[in-house]
Chains A and B, each alone.
Chain A
Amino acid sequence: MADLQLLARIYHLILAGFVRDGHAPHYTDIAINLGMTVEHARRTQRELLTALSGPLAGEDGRLTALGGAHWALPATDYIASFSPFSNVATQYRISVDGEQRWYGQCGLESLAVSWLFPRKDVQIDARCLDCAERIMVRMRDGTLEEVSPDTVVGHSNVSLPDFARNWPHT
């Protein structure tokens, strides 16, 4: 079992990579960055995802209090999603200061992205899953600056306690 300091460093590398590049680093990048073997990095990244949000996270218990959803594509160590970002294209396109490089994990987690880009304009563009109307939300430092149309609501089809039953579905 990896120690918490190492898990914290890998968590930070992954999230900082998303912020910088718009996508997650590969575990080989993590290995180089932290001076680990590739296999050690792969196993520790897998352990991190499991401890954060995996099916055994509740039993592990070390990191579940952090919240969020973090998972790899099935049967791989490719990061698929890491709150609040998605590593695969979703309907939630996120632009920072006018540059679209990021995808939100879901509509609700997209609302948390602006905290990661202090003093910058963060715009979320999506379409309504019901009527396909364009939706735009612009935020700065967590504050809503503009919402269009102004009748936009958020919704979770899954109750909060059930979020962790199936993260990709949620």
Chain B
Amino acid sequence: MRGWALFDPSSEEGIMPVRSWARLFGQGRMRARLDPDFVLKGAGLRPTRDELLAEMGKSGPYWGTSVPQ
């Protein structure tokens, strides 16, 4: 991974087990995309990415969330 020619060292935090990424990309909105009314209800689907990131202990600039005090 780190030997990849285009690897950006500032993205080190973004190296995670596939299982963790699958959890992040299995949040409420991802599951309901094929529902005919997805666009109408989508913004209200939970959990959201931010909620999951908090559960996973991910915070800071890379993740786009504030660091807990």
- Selected from B2, B16, B33, B40, the residue in CB contact (under 8 A) with A116 is B33
Query: Closest CB-CB distance, A91 to chain B, in whole Å?
Result: 13
Chain-B contact segment, one of A2-10, A21-29, A31-39, A92-100: A2-10
Interface range for B: 35 or more
Looking across the interface, which residue of chain A has its beta carbon closest to that of B44? A65
**Complex-state Cα separation, A108 to B30, whole angstroms:** 12
**B63 proximity list for chain A (CB < 8 A):** 159-160
- Selected from A8, A66, A109, the residue in CB contact (under 8 A) with B25 is A109
Q: Are B6 and A157 in contact (CB under 8 A)?
A: yes
Q: Are A153 and B18 in contact (CB under 8 A)?
A: yes
Question: Is residue A67 contacting chain B, with contact meaning CB distance below 8 A?
Answer: yes
Q: Which residues of A contact B (CB under 8 A)?
A: 4-5, 7-9, 11-12, 15-16, 19, 63, 65-68, 83-84, 108-109, 111-112, 115-116, 128-131, 137, 139, 142, 144, 147, 152-161
**B6 proximity list for chain A (CB < 8 A):** 129, 157
**Complex-state Cα separation, A36 to B25, whole angstroms:** 34
**Complex-state Cα separation, A4 to B31, whole angstroms:** 21
Looking across the interface, which residue of chain B has its beta carbon closest to that of A107? B21
Contact A152-B11, Cβ < 8 Å, known A8-B37, A66-B39: no
Q: Are B22 and A116 in contact (CB under 8 A)?
A: no
Contact A130-B34, Cβ < 8 Å, known A137-B18, A155-B15, A159-B61: no
Q: Which of B19-53 contact A (CB under 8 A)?
A: 19-22, 24-26, 29-31, 33-40, 42-43, 49
